[in-house]
């Protein structure tokens, strides 16, 4: 139970973080175990390559091993290593389970997993079995059981994992988290979030191709829309909100209901771009165009998550953070804080607030994070993975977060299949949420 | 069954309205039965006085009878009549059931009911029993049963009623309805709406008073927040959206779930304005600060309704209308229509669209509606009531709308009481929704 004792000690040292987010936490007092890390990468598609490029911009990372079943992606990854004056990596490419040979190496400190969603949990579980702390990309879970398997593997192997939810590190989100912790919104009552992103030309690419005929995410992502009806991608919205509501850290998600609209977007896209006679025009896409999931928290807050990826629309993660003193909405980037906003009942532009409450991490690293992808936030999520790993300190987004954020997917599928029925959300911490304290982004290290 | 035959004939004549909203419907061919109407008013509080003033601005209305148990409000109403050179009205003020004596008069053509919510259905039912078509103010229902009672009274008395949902006539809403009918958004998939209005200084007035110590709506409205936890005021949001989705007219609401956040806002307001020792600081307010209700429609659309009246926030009914071609959001007044908006994935300001698709009613009556209250929309809702009544034509917002929009309240209470359970929504039309066709605001008469 070493890890859990460490964790408790760490948490005790940082109990004040909720109230005073700007105070550096105790992480620096942990012995720095390693100054350079050897990281393996499983999956060097578009996302995995992004991680690779961000990692090798750092001086403390070596990439001795990469894994992908697509030789073209391996080539691109090797070229990137070479261009950055890194040694070429050993390659694991021989079939779906080649990654296990990568995990069997004895020179790795950690592994980044950026593969199709169905592989996430099996690979993370295998990594923990191999005592290799994984940094796992985001997505929904396939089943409730695999979330339990993930947690139980962590507990039995004492190997930590981090969910690489980059939106937790978005600059506006971190500023709002700061404002939440400083009490600007009063007691938080209600949050909204989601993934609202027109992915039609990603689910079909090139043209209306997908599956074995498609490229990039179209190879695997589109199939989910054929097989599943639920919020299949909940964490970009839920993750940031969960941190603001201290989920797993004094609070927890208790129940949800989910409703799906009809599914029209993908079919119409096929007809528009492939014609009515295209063979894909007969596919009965199962995934409703707009999925609405409403969640209840143990401390009485409610959350609405939206999944909306198949209709023409501007990108928005739809954030709203509302408390007894005011609220912020990402749509229009509007804010109202009673007693601070000059006009009662009138929105203000939020940017001056976001600037004023800019998180210390962004103050410190904004130059370094430039160009790191997705507005810089990809730097921060990897930085947290790397710095925690170097210190053998707990990851700020851990296995319990991964399990409960991602279990939303199978639970929302079940709710929708039952017409919108109420679903209990498992407590993967088995009661420990009550004593765990906020430990996400408490200082200016990571 | 005369009324229902009339209704069917009318509907048959107007089947094209969904597709071509700008074509005048057949209402003009109905014989105009009366050119001047005698209208009674039950309840001349702030809202009822507003209706009275708007009615007597018209040349076709006389107000021979008013009812209120508050002598001060009667005086204000009589003064308003006098100031407009109208004869003073007969007064019914003697107790809670004085209104029945008003209904017993034989000189009235209709009656406007603007009373506390609990009285709405009993009074409307009594009015229909008296063969007097009521124009009923909005609010939630108390019970599911009273919604059935309302419908059954209509059917047994053959007396129509209109729900006075003014937001159905808001200028932006009518323009968006026009755009929906013209297919600009493609097939509508998902809508959002609600009542988000900081009512704390209305629920408490003056100071932190309410109930017998309070004034205006504080006399009765606040008590609902003590007794009930649900969406107690759903129609300002749901009404407009229901018309866009042809609810009761080829579509229907089938099921809902509702979740409530914790209740903090009213308590904090009492403490802030009355002190911690104020006797009201111990009241256990039951109504959650934010109530989220998700609904499913027979044609596959989903709807989210929000009730949010107890926290500091700018006013917004939170509308979003989203289809296969694009969407409009009232927050930020933003729109995106694929193929029309110049930049892909980028919002445009909606106002040019709202101007272009301005509803013919607003084009025709915008001058006349100036100053009529709530941005002019109060003119239109009363105009519809009066003009339909003069023609003995069906009301555009009828008893089936009133029943199904208002039954959301007891159903959401039940869902919340059961932790967020799924509730079936009754079909008050008993199957007739399938053949009924869109008949709301189809022309430029009303």
Q: Which string of b and e fits A163-172 if b means at least 16 CB within 10 Å? A: bbbbbbbbbb
**A13 to A340, A432, A435, A441: CA distances (angstroms):** 33, 17, 13, 14
CATH architecture of the domain with residue range B167-361+399-434: 2-Layer Sandwich (3.30)
Nearest to B400 by CA among B110, B74, B4, B2: B4
Residue B20 contacts residue B441 (beta carbons within 8 Å): no
What percent of chain A shows pLDDT beyond 90?
89
**CA dist., res. A19 & res. A178, Å (int):** 10
Residue A425 contacts residue A411 (beta carbons within 8 Å): yes
Residue A134 contacts residue A113 (beta carbons within 8 Å): yes
Instruction: Tell if the CB–CB gap between B304 and A302 is shorter than 8 Å.
Output: no
Return the SS3 of A143.
Answer: coil
Residue A49: in which H helix or E strand, if any?
helix A46-56
Chain B residues with CB-CB distance to A257 below 8 A: 257, 259, 294, 420, 422
Chain A residues with CB-CB distance to B268 below 8 A: 186, 324
**CA dist., res. B157 & res. B166, Å (int):** 26
Chain B residues with CB-CB distance to A422 below 8 A: 257, 418-422
What is the per-residue pLDDT for A310? 98
A to B CB pairs, distance under 8 Å: 158
H runs (alpha helix) in A257-323: 265-274
**CA dist., res. B227 & res. B224, Å (int):** 5
What is the per-residue pLDDT for B18? 38
Nearest to B386 by CA among B403, B372, B401: B372
Q: Is the ipTM of this complex over 0.95?
A: no
The nearest CA of chain A is from the CA of B343 a distance in Å of: 10
Nearest to B21 by CA among B345, B270, B358: B358
Phi first, then psi, for residue B161 (nearest 5°) are -140, 155
Instruction: Tell if the CB–CB gap between A302 and B290 is shorter than 8 Å.
Output: yes
- The DSSP code for A265 is H
CA atoms in the 13 A half-sphere facing the CB of B402: 30
Identity of the residue in B302, B311, B419 whose CB atom sits nearest the CB atom of A259: B302
Nearest to A326 by CA among A187, A193, A194, A192: A187
Distance of CA A78 to the CA centre of its chain: 26
**A57 to A54, A78, A282: CA distances (angstroms):** 5, 15, 46
Q: What mean pLDDT is reported for chain A? A: 92
- Range from A17-31, A282-296, B118-132, B243-257 carrying the lowest mean pLDDT: A17-31
Nearest chain A residue to B265 by CA distance is A324
What is the per-residue pLDDT for B41? 98
Q: Kindly report, residue by residue over B244-299, the tens digit of the pLDDT.
A: 999 999 999 999 999 999 999 999 999 999 999 999 999 999 999 999 999 999 99
Q: Which string of b and e fits A355-384 if b means at least 16 CB within 10 Å? A: eebbbbbbeebeeebeebbeebbbbbbbbb
Instruction: Tell if the CB–CB gap between A420 and B308 is shorter than 8 Å.
Output: no
What is the 3-state composition of chain A as percent helix, strand, coil, each rounded to the nearest 5? Answer: 40, 15, 40
What is the per-residue pLDDT for B369? 86
Q: Kindly report, residue by residue over A140-177, the tens digit of the pLDDT.
A: 999 999 999 999 999 999 999 999 999 999 999 999 99
Instruction: Tell if the CB–CB gap between B265 and A420 is shorter than 8 Å.
Output: no
Chain A residues with CB-CB distance to B326 below 8 A: 312-313
Chain B residues with CB-CB distance to A189 below 8 A: 261-262, 264-265, 289-290, 311
Return the SS3 of A215.
Answer: coil
Query: Computed over its alpha carbons, how large is the radius of gyration of chain A?
Result: 21
Nearest chain A residue to B347 by CA distance is A314
* CB-based contacts of B116, cutoff 8 Å, min separation 6: B219, B220, B221
Query: Computed over its alpha carbons, how large is the radius of gyration of chain B?
Result: 21
DSSP lists the bridge partners of residue B193 as: B305
* CB-based contacts of B432, cutoff 8 Å, min separation 6: none
Identity of the residue in A189, A262, A295 whose CB atom sits nearest the CB atom of B262: A189
The nearest CA of chain B is from the CA of A307 a distance in Å of: 12
Nearest chain A residue to B299 by CA distance is A262
Q: Which string of b and e fits A220-230 if b means at least 16 CB within 10 Å? A: bbbbbbeebbb
The nearest CA of chain A is from the CA of B414 a distance in Å of: 13
Chain B residues with CB-CB distance to A345 below 8 A: 198, 313-315
**CA dist., res. A409 & res. B39, Å (int):** 56
DSSP lists the bridge partners of residue A26 as: none
Encoded tokens for B154: 């209509």
Nearest chain A residue to B344 by CA distance is A314
Identity of the residue in A264, A301, A422 whose CB atom sits nearest the CB atom of B324: A264
Where does the pLDDT of residue A28 fall: very low under 50, low under 70, confident under 90, or very high at 90 and above? Answer: very low
The nearest CA of chain A is from the CA of B431 a distance in Å of: 20
**CA dist., res. A234 & res. A19, Å (int):** 28
Q: What is the CATH number of domain A37-166?
A: 3.40.50.720
Encoded tokens for A361: 């991490």
Return the SS3 of A173.
Answer: helix
Residue A50 contacts residue A164 (beta carbons within 8 Å): no
The nearest CA of chain A is from the CA of B81 a distance in Å of: 34
- The DSSP code for A182 is T
Nearest chain B residue to A326 by CA distance is B312
Nearest chain A residue to B338 by CA distance is A312
**CA dist., res. A141 & res. A139, Å (int):** 7
| Domain boundary assignment for chain B | 37-166, 167-361+399-434
Total number of residues shown for chain B: 446
What is the per-residue pLDDT for B19? 34
Chain A residues with CB-CB distance to B304 below 8 A: 292, 304
DSSP lists the bridge partners of residue B125 as: none
Identity of the residue in B256, B313, B422 whose CB atom sits nearest the CB atom of A421: B422
Instruction: Tell if the CB–CB gap between B336 and A313 is shorter than 8 Å.
Output: yes
What is the per-residue pLDDT for B11? 37
B99: left (phi over 0), alpha (psi -120 to 50) or beta: alpha
Average pLDDT (A217-242) is: 98
Print pLDDT tens along chain B (446 aa).
233 333 333 333 333 343 333 323 233 334 457 889 999 999 999 999 999 999 999 999 999 999 999 999 999 999 999 999 999 999 999 999 999 999 999 999 999 999 999 999 999 999 999 999 999 999 999 999 999 999 999 999 999 999 999 999 999 999 999 999 999 999 999 999 999 999 999 999 999 999 999 999 999 999 999 999 999 999 999 999 999 999 999 999 999 999 999 999 999 999 999 999 999 999 999 999 999 999 999 999 999 999 999 999 999 999 999 999 999 999 999 999 999 999 999 999 999 999 999 999 999 998 888 877 778 899 999 999 999 999 999 999 999 999 999 999 999 999 999 999 999 999 999 999 999 999 999 888 89
What is the per-residue pLDDT for B20? 34
Chain A residues with CB-CB distance to B314 below 8 A: 334, 336, 345-347
**A173 to A183, A196, B261: CA distances (angstroms):** 15, 16, 22
Encoded tokens for A198: 């027109």
- pTM for the model stands at 0.93
**B433 to B181, B297, B401: CA distances (angstroms):** 18, 12, 11
Instruction: Write out chain B in H/E/C secondary structure.
Output: CHHHHHHHHHHHHCHHHHCCCCCCCHHHHCCCCCCCEEEEEECCCHHHHHHHHHHHCCCCEEEEEEECCCHHHHHHHHHHHHHCCCCCCEEECCCCCHHHHHHCCCCCCEEEECCCHHHHHHHHHHHHHCCCCEEECCCCCCCHHHHHHHHHHHHHHCCCCEECCHHHHCHHHHHHHHHHHCCCCCCEEEEEEEEECCCHHHHCCCCCCCHHHCCHHHHCHHHHHHHCCCCCCCHHHHHHHHHHCCECCCECEEEEEEEECCCCHHHHHHHHHHCCCCHHHHCCCCCCCEEEEEEEECCCCEEEEEEECCCCCCCECCCEEEECCEEEECCCCEEEECCCCCCCCCCEECHHHHHHCCCHHHHHHHHHHCCCCHHHHHHHHHHHHHHHHHHCCCCCCCHHHHHHHHCHHHHHHHHHHCCCCCEECCCCCCCHHHCCCCCCCCCCCC
Chain B residues with CB-CB distance to A261 below 8 A: 189-190, 300-302
Beta strands in A199-342 (DSSP E): 253-260, 290-297, 302-308, 320-323, 326-329, 334-337
Chain B residues with CB-CB distance to A421 below 8 A: 421-422
Return the SS3 of A20.
Answer: coil
Instruction: Tell if the CB–CB gap between B264 and A189 is shorter than 8 Å.
Output: yes
The answer to whether residue A12 scores a pLDDT higher than 70 is: no
Instruction: Tell if the CB–CB gap between B190 and A323 is shorter than 8 Å.
Output: no
Residue A238: in which H helix or E strand, if any?
helix A235-244
The answer to whether residue A299 scores a pLDDT higher than 70 is: yes
Chain B residues with CB-CB distance to A411 below 8 A: none
Identity of the residue in B300, B323, B331 whose CB atom sits nearest the CB atom of A331: B331
């Amino acid at each position: 139970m070493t890890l859990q004792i460490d964790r408790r000690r760490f948490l005790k040292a940082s109990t004040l973080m909720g109230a005073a987010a700007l105070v550096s936490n105790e992480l620096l007092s942990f012995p720095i175990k390693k100054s350079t890390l050897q990281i393996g990468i499983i999956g060097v598609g578009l996302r995995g390559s992004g991680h690779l490029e961000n990692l090798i911009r750092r001086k403390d990372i070596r990439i001795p091993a990469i894994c992908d079943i697509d030789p073209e992606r391996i080539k691109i990854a090797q070229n990137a290593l070479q261009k950055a004056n890194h040694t070429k990596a050993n390659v694991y490419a021989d079939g779906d389970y080649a990654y296990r040979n990568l995990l069997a190496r004895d020179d790795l400190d950690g592994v980044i997993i950026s593969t199709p969603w169905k592989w996430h949990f099996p690979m993370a579980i295998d990594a923990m079995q191999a005592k290799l702390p994984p940094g796992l990309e985001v997505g929904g879970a396939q089943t409730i059981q695999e979330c339990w398997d993930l947690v139980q593997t962590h507990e039995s192997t004492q190997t930590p994992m981090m969910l690489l939810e980059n939106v937790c590190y978005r600059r506006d989100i971190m500023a709002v988290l700061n404002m939440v912790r400083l009490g600007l919104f009063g007691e938080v009552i209600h949050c909204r979030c989601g993934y609202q992103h027109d992915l039609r030309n990603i689910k079909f690419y090139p043209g209306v191709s997908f599956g074995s005929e498609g490229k990039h995410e179209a190879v695997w992502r589109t199939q989910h829309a054929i097989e599943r009806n639920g919020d299949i991608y909940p964490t970009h919205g839920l993750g940031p909100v969960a941190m603001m509501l201290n989920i797993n850290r004094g609070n927890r998600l208790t129940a949800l209901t989910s409703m799906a609209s009809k599914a029209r977007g993908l079919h119409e896209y096929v007809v528009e771009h492939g014609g009515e006679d295209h063979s894909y025009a007969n596919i009965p896409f199962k995934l409703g165009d707009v999925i609405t999931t409403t969640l209840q928290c143990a401390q009485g807050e409610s959350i609405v998550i939206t999944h909306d990826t198949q209709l023409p629309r501007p990108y928005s993660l739809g954030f709203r953070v509302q408390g007894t003193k005011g609220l912020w909405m990402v749509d229009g980037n509007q804010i109202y804080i009673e007693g601070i906003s000059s006009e009662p009942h009138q929105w203000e532009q939020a940017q001056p607030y976001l600037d004023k409450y800019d998180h210390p991490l962004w103050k410190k690293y904004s130059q370094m994070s430039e160009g790191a992808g997705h507005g810089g936030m990809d730097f921060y999520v990897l930085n947290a993975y790397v710095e925690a790993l170097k210190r053998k300190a707990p990851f700020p987004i851990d296995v319990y977060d991964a399990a409960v954020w991602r279990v939303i997917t199978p639970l929302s599928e079940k709710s929708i299949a039952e017409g919108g029925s109420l679903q209990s959300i498992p407590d993967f911490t088995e009661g420990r949420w009550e004593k765990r304290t906020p430990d996400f982004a408490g200082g200016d290290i990571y």
